[in-house]
Amino acid sequence: MLIRLATLADKPAWLALSQEYDKYVRELTENMDLWYDGFDEYMDNKIKKNAAVIAVDRMSGCCNGLIAFSKAYNRITFLGVSESADFTETADRLLTVALRQLDTNKDVIAVLPEGICPVLKKIISVCEKYGFAISNDEMIQGVNHHNLVRRATNEKRGRSFHYV
């Protein structure tokens, strides 16, 4: 698996990954148009700010997963793993990279759709493994989201994808 910054050429793969979750998001909202309102601009913004990381299968070139974050707000705003990928390996690697890019000396927030189905619960579970805990809920784009908080630590982290 190759982990790299997402580019504008990766937008179709990001959108396809997001659409894999539509069947679960439909359980949370009646208005899918509202869910995708502004998504294209969101992807452009994250890519231009080098705040989106994609996991690509080396053999097929397919997107295994993607994570997007905000360095300014110390927040993870998107985490998706393809149904065809090794969920645990992909989620672990993406979260590790994102946490290396964010300031762990401050609280880190992950904003994720409410985990009422097994797949969304699995994503929340992986975040909990990395020290996140559900803090509160908020409505975003017509869908209830959990705010998961990872409390500040004094651990030193490298900013490189490959830092050990």
73-110 confidence digits (pLDDT tens): 999 999 999 999 999 999 999 999 999 999 989 999 99
Total residues found in the chain within this entry: 164
- Identify the pLDDT of residue 27: 80
Averaged over 19-46, what is the pLDDT?
86
Whether the pLDDT of residue 46 is over 90: the answer is yes
- All domains of the chain in start order, with CATH: 2-150 (3.40.630.30)
Plot region of 3 (φ>0 → left; ψ -120 to 50 → alpha; else → beta): beta
- The pLDDT tens digits of the residues spanning 141-151 come to 777 788 889 99
* Residues contacting residue 97 through CB under 8 Å, at least 6 positions apart: 3, 53, 67, 161
How many Å apart are CA 29 and CA 51, to the nearest integer?
27
- Identify the pLDDT of residue 76: 96
Whether the pLDDT of residue 9 is over 80: the answer is yes
- Identify the pLDDT of residue 16: 94
C-alpha dihedral sign at 7, 86, 118, 152: negative
Asked whether the whole model's pTM tops 0.85, one would answer yes
